[in-house]
Structure 1
Amino acid sequence: MMILIGIDTGVNTGFAVAIDHGDGKGGQLNEVTSMSITKAMTQVNALIWEHGKDNVRLFIEDARLRTWFTGGKEKAQGAGSVKRDASIWEQWCKENDLQYTMIHPKANATKYNANSFARITGWMGRTNEHGRDAAMLVHRRRTKI
């Protein structure tokens, strides 16, 4: 069993957990939420404590690779913050010797509304945009176990 953690960086960090049982179906969603970056890091540590470092993998959206922005100065400043958070996550993963992959934003299916997300994933719990984006990083993702 592999624990897959999806991270959508930002002030409201999207956080999702999926479990890959090695049955060929890929990651089955277990948690979809959002929280602060520090709470998300605490949650990652808790999952590592519970399942072991070798059984946890992070998939982090790398906003530093995004080159398209619309919406003016405020959006551009927010984009800078999200890019900084991607750098923080990468540095934190390296410092803690974690298994992680930085995912290009174009490689992730994002911006689903709640109804579409529920239909695609089967997740019936409450979500917000950040949690849904994080979930799409790990939903049905297959790993080598």
Structure 2
Amino acid sequence: MDKNLIIGIDPGVKTGIAVYSKKEKKLLELHTVRIHRAFEIVTDMGAHIEMVRIEDARQRKWLGSGDAEAKKQGAGSVKRDCKIWEDFLQDKAIPFQMTSPGKVKTKISTGYFKALTGWQGVTSNHARDAAMLVWGF
């Protein structure tokens, strides 16, 4: 079985998922889905996955400005999602890497993303963030 897929995951209520082919050097799929659907996508591709890269909110050192209490609650939820992803991938014996948010260029515009990747489909910021975890891997 050819294991050449790198999957990027941006956890959250709206989970971004990107599928990158190392062989073809391009993005194959981008999705914004609920967490259970993201688990299904990863499970379905399991035999072809070389690695899953997850933006790990537990490694975030800042929350930014704004409503501090709301951000803490949201961050706590995403941190729990990161732990669920870690447990899921360990249980499935799928290689993974928990990646610090500061080590990935995220929050890029649609125009820049299209110019960089050549992806012409509709994207959300969650899907673009997931794609940046795997782009050019």
Query: Considering the TM-score relative to the shorter chain, is it more than 0.5?
Result: yes
Cα distance between partner residues in 2 of 1:129 and 1:74? 20
Question: What are structure 1's unaligned runs of at least 5 residues?
Answer: none
Aligned-residue CA RMSD (Å): 1.3
TM-score, length-scaled by structure 1:
0.87
Which letter does structure 2 place at the counterpart of 1:68? W
| Partner residue in 2 for 1:19 | 21
Runs of 4+ residues deviating >4 angstroms: none
TM-score normalized with structure 2 length: 0.92
Q: Distance in 2 between matches of 1:39 and 1:89?
A: 13
User: Is the CA contact 1:47–1:56 (under 8 Å) kept in the aligned structure 2?
Assistant: no
Shift of 1:119: 1.0
Q: Report the Cα distance in structure 2 between the residues aligned to 1:120 and 1:107, rounded to whole angstroms.
A: 18
Q: Indicate yes or no: 2:60 matched with 1:66.
A: yes
Unaligned runs of 5+ in 2: none
SS class of match (1:57): strand
Greater shift after overlay, 130-139 or 72-81?
72-81
Amino acid corresponding to residue 20 of structure 1 in structure 2: K
Partner Cα distance (1:28, 1:101) in 2: 20
CA apart distance, 1:56: 3.3
> What secondary structure does 1:5 align onto?
strand
Residue of structure 2 aligned with 1:132, choices 125, 128, 135: 128
* 1:120 partner letter: L
Aligned partners of 1:135, 1:56: CA distance in 2, in Å? 16
Determine the structure 1 residue equivalent to 2:73: 77
Seq. identity, %: 41
Per-residue deviation, residues 4-43 of structure 1 (Å, max 9, x unmatched): 100001010000000001x8xxx41111121011100001
Q: CA deviation at 1:74?
A: 1.1
1:1-145 to structure 2, matched below 5 A, reads 2-21=4-23, 27-48=25-46, 52=47, 55-70=49-64, 71-72=66-67, 73-141=69-137
1-structure distance, mates of 2:62, 2:103: 14
Count residues with an aligned counterpart: 133
